[in-house]
Structure 1
Amino acid sequence: MEPSLPISWNSKKRKDNPSKNAKRLKTEDGDWLFEPVRVPRPPRISVLLSHLQQPLTLDGLTELLHFAALGKTCGIKQPSWCRLHHQRRVTGVNVVVLEGLIQSHFYKHYLTLQHLRANYTTRVSFSPSSSGIASGIFSSEVPGSESSPDSQREQEGRHLQKALKWHPVISKFGTEVRGLTAYVLTQEEMIKKQFPVKGMPGCEGFLCTDSDDFVTDNSPLYGLDCEMCLTEKGHELTRVSLVDSSGRCVLDELVKPQNRIINYLTRFSGITSAMLRPVTTTLREVQTKMRMLLPRDAVLVGHSLNNDLRALQLIHPHVIDTSLLYRKEFGQRFKLKVLAETVLKRQIQTEEKKGHNPIEDAVAALELAQYFIKTGPGQVVEHHLEELWGGCLAITEPAVCESPPTHSNRFADVLQDRGCSVGFIGKRADITLSLSNQQWHSSDKEVLASFRRKKKCPYFSVLQFSSFSDHLKNSFPHQEHHYQKVCAHLREMCVVFAGPFPAGFSEKEVRRLFRYCGPVRRIKMLNAAVRIHAEIEFELLEGAMLALKTLNGLHVHGQYIKVQRPVNESMLDLDLTLDALMADPLNISHLYAVKLKTNQAKHIHFSGKANGHTLDSKYSDLTAMKMADGLHPDKVNGSKIDSCYTELSTTVGETDLTAAKHLHATSSGLSEEKLRERFGHFGTVESIFLPAKPFGKRARHAYIKFESTESVHTALSSSEELRDEKYLICPSLTPPHLHSWVAMTTPISTAYSVVGTAIEEGWSLTLTSPQDQETELVMRKLDRWLGKLFRSLPDGTLSVVVLPGLMSAHGHLPGLCFMEVKRGSS
């Protein structure tokens, strides 16, 4: 813990250093005063206890983002539902939206999503919104002065002009119309882009054209395109096409490769073995023709022209490469097909054609260069900014807010007005953000790569990952059915089977017997030919755990009760899931506690394991209670039942009913004062959560949060002592933001009839189907990308990951919101 006040002391000797992080001051008396240097506290976020189990809305999220990005210096107040401590030390804000994901998906794939569950210490349910999250964030209004539509348009125009100068085309070529010589590559650029250059390694034996030392703006342009096949020595030329400045073809030759062909690459080249069989033209002959056709001041134009010239083994010093004219950020290049379709409004390289047509490609490259030269880079970018670039992120330095917003109170406008860099990266979206601050990509991999390539992260950024949403649409056409299966799997984790019960044992008696372990949601009686069993579904995982731990082997009037988990493939990883939940940052400092009355504790049998799973494996000193030998019909787990219950009726139904009433009657309510007094002996109790109950009823279970995990260890190791004091405890498994483990699967009253039917009808909840296996792979990849993204964020960045949830015909399925301020490795 950091000291709340400076600590100082006097010392006559200087040889000892009281603190390596202390500054030394000399007093007027000559004594030395050591005062620890305060280490700045990093920013952190915490959710108010009163709002912890309330779903977060999009408005609530934007309230946090406003404060995190702008702070009190801009007049923004703390959010009403949480506290962001030390906001001034927040260095940036990053929001990731995982389209198509709901809260149930996270817990269904809990073991797979290691990064999300381990690195984010704040987690709240998220209420789905009818509008897009990215659009809602950027268009949200920051408290401030209103602005007219005209002033908003002027503001957007200023932002666009400011951003254009950072555009890769504008930053390279400027905005003015210039002659073709402005776009001819220099020798240094040619070497960097791996063009064949005279005297460079790898260009030995290449033929040089007869070219002048320089060209002018009136020099002729020639379009060039080549097709290659794969031979034993690599890629070799099979066809070359050359067109003049009017687009007329002046050369179109098939070429016989020197080495044996391995792959004709017909899909791309259009070349087949039948086409080359009669061909005798050699590479040297084509080089000679090229040398004769090209004027001395000719400028060759092509798309990724370096590959064509290397295939030709030809050196020409004056070239224009259209892939470098219409340039993207970080060296990325457009495909010729995309440029032709967008700029020239022409379809080339269509699927119905067998391979590329090099004449068609050469003409397209030529016309793209002519258009760029004639129109000028400024107009090219302005005309095709949305279609081609989707907006290149404008990087500007974040500035400190000094005055309230003056032009617009839209969040995106306020940020940019402050000089804070803003960006959106994802699929094409209808967001209220200037196009210069958007980047549109078709895959999550491109979204991540685009963000990580940036030399400096935007101060405020929103990334949209859509891979899981696309996977659901492709693999599960009936998504509602898939969601129901996910929910059914989660609810099955809270189910135990118990029995056999004597004939006549009713559902009401089973509920009385089991509900002291935790709230019981549903009981289904299973009547076999001879014996009766029951399926009990708890609201909480802890209830199922305590039932397995305490009621398995319960002996009432000669009848042993066996309690066990469902045995099917979907439960194979349950032990691992329980261990991971215990170690979850949200649960690791929490305990689940149940209070019993007079003789309840001594009637309960404790087992170190439930269905083979060591419940308290992390706490090796936990004492396991053993059932006493010599069971008797009037004993429960080796302990005598109270005398008032020893004279039970001999009828089975009445006996079991009385036993159930006994267990029910001995349960007791809990109070925060008693819990603090008792569990405070193990360490400082930070908070206690008692579930809300109807008026006049007291809670039977509670969650106790300690300041340190050591306190939890100590309490668990004293479980036998606590049992003697009528307390049953186990590690916490339910995240604090959920008042019920299965609440996320039943957002509306009608959902249970839909999802509950899934369990009763025995839907397959295994991961054996190809679709589910693919889903697991998608989740694993998604989590890996989120981990890479988080590691690339600067220290002090508020990272928010949103699972948007789903608005379906059956009701709203809640999402989930993760929040964490990234800290340094120290």
Structure 2
Amino acid sequence: MQQCLCLSHVFITSTSGEKFGTSWTNNIRRNISLNMEPSSSAATSNRQKRKNIAPTAHEKAKRLKTEQEGEGAVECAHPTRSPRISVLPGRLQQPITLNELTELLHYAALGKAGGIRQPSWCRLRHQRKVKGVNVVVVEGLTQSHFYKHYLTLPHLRTKYNSRLTFTASSDNVVSGIFSSEVPTSDAPSLSQIHTENSELHKALTHHPVITKFGTRRRGLTAYVLTQEEMIKRHYPVKGMPGFEEFVCTDCVDCVTDSSPLYGLDCEMCLTEKGNELARVSLVDSDGNCVLDELVKPQNRILNYLTKFSGITAAMLRPITTTLRDVQAKLRALLPRDAVLVGHSLNNDLVALKLIHQHVIDTSLLYRREFGQRFKLKVLAETVLKRQIQTEEKKGHNPIEDAVAALGLAQYFIKTGPRKVVEHHLEELWGYTIEEESTDRASAPTPSHRFADMLQRVGRSVAYLGKRSDDVALDLSNQQWHNSDKEVLASFRRQNKCPFLSVLQFSSFSDHPKGCVVHQQQQYQRVCVNLRDMCVVFAGPLPAGFSEREVKRLFCCCGPVRRIKMLNTTARVHAEVEFELLEGAKLALKTLNGLNLQGQSIEVKRPVHESILDLDLTLDALMGDALNASHLYAVKLKPSMAERINISARVNGHTLDAECPGVTSVKTANGLPPPKVNGKRLRLTTAKPELSEETVRETFGRFGTVERIVLPAKPGKRARHAHIKFESPEGTRAALSAADDLWKEDYIICPSLTPPHLRSWVAMTTAGAEGEAEERTHRHTGSRDQEMQLMMGKLDRRLGKLFRSLPDGTLSVVMLLGHTSAHGHLPGLCFMEVK
């Protein structure tokens, strides 16, 4: 009995007794390339001429590889460049909002071909090669928590090369992602998608051909198998196990829509070693046979398989051509940019023991619902109206089969997937479409919500997390779980990763449950611990040293946030808090052991529990991918450097130089100034000259300087510089030349503060109130230890999730931050393309 499925205003009738559309998978990815031109198969009658111009075609392909996404760019069938993301330099130290994040997600999913512009704050290169988007929303954690537990999070700090402060602009970030409006005012391509898909029947959007290739007619490069598909379909691929002895053709790295098509078919005989090549046929794009050779199998033949191969013992008896001879002929005949076409071509290439990089498999063009393949004979008869492999013929004719496969590929490329499906829906797939008379003008306006848009163009979406009525997504696309562990396990169990997947980890927001006071205390303790990393103690200082004079002395190492004088019974010390980790590091190197008034001062770290792992943390920060190419430099005024002789380790080297910060005077503030080596001295207020030109001139000799940042308050001169080289080699070269730079009055150290932070302590927004109390209760209780364990579990789960994503997936992890009595505490956003 026929079954009818009524959807909207169209009836679909199955003539094979199966329901159409409902069982076909929704988890299909397709490349939206609306600006690609139709293919024009280049014909040739002179193979030698084609071989002579091959280097020019190769050069053209190389140029195409280097082009960034442009409106008219031709996409390579085998891209050698992966998608990558980077943040614009001007936005590094500005937090991003949810709206700006959705800008990126829209572009990653739809791209320029869908009418979406590059985000205003970052650049996603090679967007067309993005295979999916995965977003993990972690509730209850802030930017400060990440840096407090920095050593506990090896995956997050090493796998993501883009990291930015995040400020949530919505209470429900998950819903904000799915319900965000895709801009269409200046996106004609999206309008075309709307129109085209509104005219396409809803069930046809789930047809296996449509979900794979879309509806628009595109060039041949859209149908060339990627390397991942070739590996999955058991094609010979260079470097893969089992194909070490296979011969490679001389291919260009990248073909174009004008590259020539060649049809190939082989026949095999059964030998003692399995199926071996007995005949090979090759036809050019006009269907002319350019090679038809019988081949003598290397091993003893057990069965000629004459019924299928047409090969007989008499045919092979006089043959002396070997597999090696045929391989050499094919290599000589095929142009470097040739695309081989065949039906289940992997079997032919295995028989030939040949690796060819660019192939179109017609058995995968005309796809069936559950992966079954049509026979070449059926496709040729139905599509080309051509009879092949007829019963009266003795076995298959490989020339005939190669011409049929070539014709099927050319027809598919010329006609386009939508027309192929509509023209042959009943004949090949067993379904008919009957239009129902309805008023098309009354159809509802299509939604521009992100989730709806993706599903309209055939891309699957999914949400996994705790139940929420605010998630703007159909219930069929949601999975609710009670724990982060269940969320991860459920996602990894899926047979096919949805194109857009959003996972919500909520363990931190639920723990400790209802204990808002504890959460605030915990966060305050995190802030205090982070600020301790920028603190040094100095002393004993000469009598009469004021807070202002201490600040002037220590400013030579970097900006000072706060000075606290510590007056004991006998001596004066100071607690100096720098804005940057680099300032504290340089103070320990340059000022420790400074001789003031006949006695040396000691500069050292405070001794707190939070500082016990500081050396490990600093080493990890120096190895952070965000800091690898960065250098921190301070310029000393020559007159300062000439006043004080010191012997200290600067930048890891022992140097005899003169310390900045003092010069001789008579008195200071009515008190005798401190003595250095028997001389009366005062702190100078002169500032060193530091400009982008001088920094670039000085450090450019170590490598190409990509960017220089000179932080300075309004109306003030910059005292220090952040230098970014194009590669880490520039940083290493500068550090190895620290002695020479010291002679030029520069002191340097590797960058420690991540580029997205203006200063290390800026992330600790809580006030100084209660710091003393926090330090007196510094011992971590059971809750704090549990927090440490939970952070480790989070990182391991994120690592497992990242490894399970397909290559080419844009991965985004968001620590949402949270609101407290001090206002909203910023979160953190990690981004990377796997």
TM tier, shorter chain? Answer: 0.5 to 0.7
Are the structure 2 counterparts of residues 435 and 503 from structure 1 closer, same or farther at C-alpha, using a change threshold of 3 Å? Answer: same
The partner residue of 2:731 within 685, 694, 712 is 712
The partner residue of 2:771 within 758, 761, 764 is 758
Letter in 2 for 1:537: E
Matched, 1:102 2:142: yes
Contact 2:205 2:458 in 1 (8 A): no
1:426-437 matched pairs, under 5 angstroms: 426-429=465-468, 430-437=470-477
Are the structure 2 counterparts of residues 32 and 814 from structure 1 closer, same or farther at C-alpha, using a change threshold of 3 Å? Answer: closer
Question: Aligned-pair distance for 1:568?
Answer: 1.9
Where do 5+ consecutive residues of structure 1 fail to align? 1-23, 164-404, 610-615, 617-621, 628-635
The partner residue of 2:829 within 817, 820, 824 is 817
Question: Aligned-pair distance for 1:805?
Answer: 1.0
Letter in 2 for 1:818: F
C-alpha distance in 2 between matches for 1:452 and 1:159: 29
TM-score, normalised to structure 1, is 0.59
Contact 1:549 1:608 in 2 (8 A): yes
Q: Percent identity?
A: 61
The partner residue of 1:624 within 643, 646, 654 is 654
Letter in 1 for 2:138: L
Question: Aligned-pair distance for 1:102?
Answer: 0.3
User: SS at 2:136's partner residue?
Assistant: strand
C-alpha distance in 2 between matches for 1:676 and 1:659: 37
TM-score, normalised to structure 2, is 0.58
The residue aligned with 2:583 is: 543
Where do 5+ consecutive residues of structure 2 fail to align? 1-48, 66-78, 207-443
Matched, 1:687 2:707: yes
C-alpha distance in 2 between matches for 1:25 and 1:698: 65
1:631-646 matched pairs, under 5 angstroms: 645=664
The residue aligned with 1:580 is: 620
The partner residue of 2:692 within 662, 669, 672 is 672
Letter in 2 for 1:729: I
Q: Deviations over 1:30-55 (max 9, x none)?
A: 99998995553211111111111111
Q: Deviations over 1:655-683 (max 9, x none)?
A: 37999985543541321111111101001
Are the structure 2 counterparts of residues 94 and 650 from structure 1 closer, same or farther at C-alpha, using a change threshold of 3 Å? Answer: closer
The residue aligned with 2:371 is: none
C-alpha distance in 2 between matches for 1:721 and 1:116: 37
Matched, 1:787 2:799: yes
The residue aligned with 1:699 is: 718
Matched, 1:771 2:783: yes
Are the structure 2 counterparts of residues 573 and 32 from structure 1 closer, same or farther at C-alpha, using a change threshold of 3 Å? Answer: closer
Contact 2:108 2:133 in 1 (8 A): yes
The partner residue of 2:462 within 403, 420, 423 is 423
User: SS at 1:752's partner residue?
Assistant: coil
The residue aligned with 1:140 is: 180
Letter in 1 for 2:783: Q
Are the structure 2 counterparts of residues 121 and 729 from structure 1 closer, same or farther at C-alpha, using a change threshold of 3 Å? Answer: same
User: SS at 2:448's partner residue?
Assistant: coil
Are the structure 2 counterparts of residues 159 and 734 from structure 1 closer, same or farther at C-alpha, using a change threshold of 3 Å? Answer: farther
Q: Deviations over 1:700-727 (max 9, x none)?
A: 0111011111211111111111011010
Q: Deviations over 1:432-458 (max 9, x none)?
A: 100000000001111001111111110
User: SS at 1:469's partner residue?
Assistant: coil
User: SS at 1:54's partner residue?
Assistant: coil
Question: Aligned-pair distance for 1:75?
Answer: 1.0
Q: Deviations over 1:714-768 (max 9, x none)?
A: 111111110110101001000000001111112xxxx3243xx3146634334x4
User: SS at 2:486's partner residue?
Assistant: helix
1:117-156 matched pairs, under 5 angstroms: 117-144=157-184
Are the structure 2 counterparts of residues 475 and 778 from structure 1 closer, same or farther at C-alpha, using a change threshold of 3 Å? Answer: farther
Letter in 2 for 1:806: H
Are the structure 2 counterparts of residues 551 and 30 from structure 1 closer, same or farther at C-alpha, using a change threshold of 3 Å? Answer: closer
Contact 1:596 1:666 in 2 (8 A): no
Letter in 2 for 1:566: P
Are the structure 2 counterparts of residues 646 and 48 from structure 1 closer, same or farther at C-alpha, using a change threshold of 3 Å? Answer: same
C-alpha distance in 1 between matches for 2:580 and 2:156: 22
C-alpha distance in 2 between matches for 1:26 and 1:436: 55
Contact 1:489 1:765 in 2 (8 A): no
C-alpha distance in 2 between matches for 1:735 and 1:529: 41
C-alpha distance in 2 between matches for 1:30 and 1:816: 49
Letter in 1 for 2:107: F
Are the structure 2 counterparts of residues 35 and 410 from structure 1 closer, same or farther at C-alpha, using a change threshold of 3 Å? Answer: closer
The residue aligned with 2:446 is: 407
Contact 2:674 2:682 in 1 (8 A): no
The residue aligned with 2:83 is: 43
Question: Aligned-pair distance for 1:808?
Answer: 1.9
C-alpha distance in 1 between matches for 2:149 and 2:641: 37
Contact 1:160 1:436 in 2 (8 A): no
1:427-826 matched pairs, under 5 angstroms: 427-429=466-468, 430-473=470-513, 477-601=517-641, 603=644, 605=646, 607-608=648-649, 623-625=653-655, 645=664, 653-655=672-674, 663-695=683-715, 697-746=716-765, 751-754=766-769, 757-759=770-772, 762-766=775-779, 768-822=780-834
Contact 1:505 1:653 in 2 (8 A): no
C-alpha distance in 1 between matches for 2:502 and 2:203: 19
C-alpha distance in 1 between matches for 2:53 and 2:617: 64
Letter in 1 for 2:654: A
Are the structure 2 counterparts of residues 501 and 623 from structure 1 closer, same or farther at C-alpha, using a change threshold of 3 Å? Answer: closer
Contact 1:468 1:779 in 2 (8 A): no
User: SS at 1:515's partner residue?
Assistant: helix
Are the structure 2 counterparts of residues 112 and 136 from structure 1 closer, same or farther at C-alpha, using a change threshold of 3 Å? Answer: same
C-alpha distance in 1 between matches for 2:681 and 2:457: 68
C-alpha distance in 2 between matches for 1:99 and 1:161: 39
Which moved further from structure 2: 39-48 or 440-449? 39-48
1:169-188 matched pairs, under 5 angstroms: none
Letter in 1 for 2:790: V
Question: Aligned-pair distance for 1:604?
Answer: 6.9
Contact 2:541 2:596 in 1 (8 A): no
C-alpha distance in 1 between matches for 2:130 and 2:55: 42
Are the structure 2 counterparts of residues 604 and 426 from structure 1 closer, same or farther at C-alpha, using a change threshold of 3 Å? Answer: farther
Contact 2:666 2:672 in 1 (8 A): no
Are the structure 2 counterparts of residues 162 and 623 from structure 1 closer, same or farther at C-alpha, using a change threshold of 3 Å? Answer: same
Are the structure 2 counterparts of residues 694 and 566 from structure 1 closer, same or farther at C-alpha, using a change threshold of 3 Å? Answer: same
Are the structure 2 counterparts of residues 33 and 442 from structure 1 closer, same or farther at C-alpha, using a change threshold of 3 Å? Answer: closer
Question: Aligned-pair distance for 1:646?
Answer: 7.6
C-alpha distance in 1 between matches for 2:55 and 2:105: 52
C-alpha distance in 1 between matches for 2:102 and 2:673: 60
Are the structure 2 counterparts of residues 27 and 138 from structure 1 closer, same or farther at C-alpha, using a change threshold of 3 Å? Answer: same
C-alpha distance in 2 between matches for 1:565 and 1:493: 8
Letter in 2 for 1:432: A
Contact 2:665 2:680 in 1 (8 A): no
Question: Aligned-pair distance for 1:558?
Answer: 1.2
